[in-house]
Amino acid sequence: MCGIVGLFAKQENISANLGVHLSKMLESMSDRGPDSAGLAIFGKPIAKRAKIMVQSQSPEDDFQKLKKFLSTKKEISFSFETHSTHAVIKLDVKQKDKVASLINDTFPNLRILSVGKKMEIYKEVGRPAEVVKRFEIAKMKGSHGIGHTRMATESAVTTLGAHPFSTGEDQCLVHNGSLSNHNSLRRELMRKEMTFETENDSEVAASFITYRMNSGKTLKEALESALVELDGFYTFVVGTENGFGVLRDPIACKPAVLAETPDYVAFGSEYRALTSLPKIEKAKVWEPEPATVYFWGH
Amino acid sequence: MHILDFNKLSLRDINKTLQESDKNSFFSIRNPKGSHALAVGINKKITVKVVGSVGYYCAGMNKFSDIKVEGSAGPGLGENMMSGNIHVTGDVSQYAGASGHGGSILVEGNASSRCGISMKGVDIIVKGNVGHMSAFMAQKGNLVIFGNAGHALGDSIYEANIYVAGEVASLGADCIEKKMTKKHLSKLENILSNANVSDYNLDTFRRFGSARSLYNFNVDNAKIY
C-alpha cells in the first residue's frame, strides 16, 4: 500500500497555495504510507536558468564542500539554496549537464535527484507530516505537483527508495503497487545504458518511461508501452513540465480518484486526500478507467 | 432524528452510537469526508442517512438497517451484508456488495470493477455502468445493470442472475446469455419495485447466467493424470 496525490492548478488561487494544498493532501495519506514521503513541485521557470536538486545524508558537511567547490569554478555562476537534506542549485541552463556530471564525479556521497527548469523534488524517510514540515512545502508555489507516501514492499526504506523518481528533465513518476518483472526489465534497461540508484521496482518503471521518451516516444506512447511491458500492479502518476498523467494497470486493484473543478484537477489514492481542497463538494469526481492514459497539461 | 457530525465525533464514537442505538432510530451523519468503515456491523432496523462521500467498507456486514449515502462510496461498499438496504446516490468503487448474503444495494451512478464479486444472495442494482470482472464467482442473488458492463462479466458464475440493459464488453468463463422468460421478467420487476426503482423498460434487459459447464469434472481431462 502507498498513497499518491497530485494537483494541477488551472487558476492563480490554487497555484499560489499549491504547497499548502499538497501538504494537506499528502498528510491525509499517512495511513497508506507512513515510512517515507516525497513531492515534486513545478514552479515558475526563470529565463535561461536551470535547477539541479541534490540530496545528502550529511548535508552540513557535504553542501559546504559542494558550494566551495562550485565557487572555485569561475565560469559557473550559480545560486545555492539549502532545504534540510536537499539543496537547489540554480545556474545557467547551458551549464546544467556539465555541472551535474561534475557533481557526480567529484562527490560520490551526493545524489542528484533531478535536473530541470521547473521541477524540484523533495523526499525523505519519515511520516508525511514530518517530511512536509522539514522542507517547508507549505510555502511553495507552482503550477502543479505530485506526491507520494510510501509503505515499502519491494526495497529498503531509504531516501532514495522514496518517490518521486525523476524520469528525465522536468519529469518524474510516483507509483502505488508492485511490479513483478522489474529485475529482468532493469537488466534489459542497463544493457541500454540506463543507470540505477536502487533495487526499487518503481525506479525501473521511471527508467522505462525515460528510455522510451528518449527514443522519441511521447509520454502517452511511453505509458501505453508500459501497459504491454510492465507486469504487476500499478497506479502511476507522471509529472511533466506541463502537467501530469495518470495510468492504472488493466486489473486496477490499486485505487485512484480524480476530481475536477474550474480551478484545478486533483488526483488522490482515496477521496480522503481530496477533502481539504476548495469546493470539492462541487467537483466532478470519478475513478479513472483501467489501462487508460489520462493527461492534463497547461 | 439524531445528527452525528464528524467535525465533533470520532468514527469510533459514531459507529458505537449507531450499533447501540434503539430500533427504528433515525440518524443523519454529517461531514464524513471520505472516512472508512462508516456504519459497519449494524444489526438492527435503523435508518442512517450520510450526507457526503464515504471511503472504504461503508455499511459492511449490514443487517436489517437502511443506509443511504448522499454522495459516492469507496471500495467495498456493503461487503458481506446480510439484509437491509443500501442506497448510494453517486458512484461506488471496487467490489461493491462483495459476498453479500441478502438485502439490496441501489447505486444511482456507476460501480467500478468486481461489483458483486462472490455475491451470495444480495440484489445489486446499478443505474449506471459496472466495471470489469463484475459478478465474478457470483453464487446467488441478482445483479441488475442499467448501463454497460465491463470485460469478463460473470466469470465462473454459479446460480446468480445478471440482467443488463446496456452493452456487455465481454462475458467471463462459463457465463452465457440466457432466455428472458416471463418468470424472469416478473422476478426482475419485483427486484426493481422492492428497491423503489420506477423508471425502467423491462424489454431492454437481457439475462446472463451460468452455463454450468464448470460444475463437474470434465472426463476428457482424466488423461492428464
Nearest-angstrom CA–CA distance, A222 and A231: 15
Residues of A in Cβ contact (< 8 Å) with B134: none
- Does the annotation mark A253 as catalytic? no
How many inter-chain contacts (A to B, CB under 8 Å) are there? 40
Q: Tell me: do A77 and A195 sit in the same domain.
A: no
- Rounded to whole angstroms, the Cα distance separating B176 from B155 reads 10
Chain A nearest C-alpha distance from B204 (Å): 26
- In A, minimum Cα distance to B109 occurs at A286
User: A10 and A149: one domain?
Assistant: yes
B97 grid coordinates: 456488495
Question: How confident is the model at residue A156, as a pLDDT?
Answer: 87
Tell whether A238 and A154 lie within a shared domain: yes
A101: left (phi over 0), alpha (psi -120 to 50) or beta: alpha
Which H helix or E strand runs over B207? strand B206-210
CB nearest B132 (choices: A274, A286, A290): A290
Structural domains in chain A (count):
2
Judge contact between B74 and A271, C-beta under 8 A: yes
**B46/A198: higher pLDDT:** B46
Within this chain, do residues A85 and A143 fall inside the same structural domain, yes or no?
Answer: no
State the pLDDT at residue B19: 97
Task: Write down the mean pLDDT value for chain B.
Answer: 97
Which residues of A lie closer than 8 Å to B, measured between beta carbons?
Answer: 252-253, 255, 257, 270-272, 274-275, 281, 285-287, 290
- Beta strand B120-126 with A3-9: parallel, antiparallel or unpaired? unpaired
Q: Where are the domains of chain B?
A: 1-93, 124-214
Tell me, yes or no, whether A39 and A80 share the same domain: no
Is there a single domain that holds both residue A38 and residue A56? no
- Asked whether residue A28 falls in the same domain as residue A167, the answer is yes
pLDDT above 80 (res A87): yes
**What's the angle, vertex CA B215, arms to CA B209 and CA B221, rounded to 5?**
130
Rounded CA separation B26/B1 (Å): 5
- pLDDT at residue A132 in the model: 97
Same domain, A267 and A287: yes
pLDDT in tens, A241-296: 999 999 999 999 999 999 999 999 999 999 999 999 999 999 999 999 999 999 99
Q: Which of A67, A90, A117 is the last residue of a domain?
A: A117
> Contact A270/B34, CB-based, under 8 Å?
yes
Confidence tier at B127 by pLDDT (50, 70, 90): very high
Q: In chain A, which residues have their Cβ closer than 8 Å to the Cβ of B72?
A: 271, 285
Note the pLDDT of residue B207. 98
Residues A128 and A229 in one domain: yes
Q: Euclidean distance between the first and final Cα of chain B, in Å?
A: 65
Phi then psi dihedrals of residue B164, to 5 deg: -130, 130
Residue identified by cell 461531514 is B31
Q: Is the pLDDT reported for residue A153 higher than 90?
A: no
* CB contact at 8 A, A198 and A163: no
Quick one: A33 and A102 in the same domain?
A: no
Say if the Cβ atoms of A252 and B113 lie within 8 Å.
yes
B172 touches chain A (CB under 8 A): no
Both A89 and A234 in one domain: the answer is no
**pLDDT class of B216 with cuts at 50, 70, 90:** confident
**Per-residue DSSP letters for B112-137?**
-TTTTTT-EEEEEEESS-B-TTTTTT
What's chain A's average pLDDT?
95
pLDDT digits (tens, 9 = 90+) for B138-160: 999 999 999 999 999 999 999 99
Q: Is the pLDDT of residue A159 over 80?
A: yes
A1, A29, A272, best to mutate vs chain B, most B CBs in 10 Å:
A272
Contact B32, B54 (CB under 8 A): yes
Confidence of residue B218 (pLDDT cuts 50, 70, 90): confident
Among A117, A139, A172, the domain-final residue is: A117
Q: Give the ipTM of the model, two decimals please.
A: 0.91
Q: Which of A117, A148, A164 is the last residue before a domain boundary?
A: A117
Is the pLDDT at A154 greater than 80? The verdict is no
Nearest residue on chain A to B152, alpha-carbon basis: A251
What was the pLDDT predicted at A181?
Answer: 97
Across residues A206-228, what is the average pLDDT?
93
Judge whether residue A128 has pLDDT over 90.
yes
| Distances from the Cα of B211 to the Cα of A38, B122, B174, B177, angstroms | 51, 21, 5, 9
pTM value > 0.90: yes
Q: State the residue range of the domain holding A107.
A: 45-117
- Assess whether pLDDT exceeds 90 at residue A298: no
Q: Is B53 on the interface with A (CB under 8 A)?
A: yes
Q: Would the CB atoms of A252 and B131 count as touching at under 8 Å?
A: yes
pLDDT in tens, B20-69: 999 999 999 999 999 999 999 999 999 999 999 999 999 999 999 999 99
Using an 8 Å CB-CB cutoff, list chain B residues near A270. Answer: 34, 55-56, 74
> Which among A8, A67, A3 has a CA at the least distance from the CA of A41?
A8
Cβ atoms within 10 Å of A71's Cβ, excluding its own: 11
* Chain A residue closest in CA terms to B73: A271
B222 pLDDT band, cuts 50/70/90, is confident
A142 and A236 belong to one structural domain: yes
Confidence grade of residue A168 (pLDDT, cut at 50, 70, 90): confident
Answer whether A155's CB lies under 8 Å from A115's CB.
no
Indicate which CATH number applies to the domain containing A203. 3.60.20.10
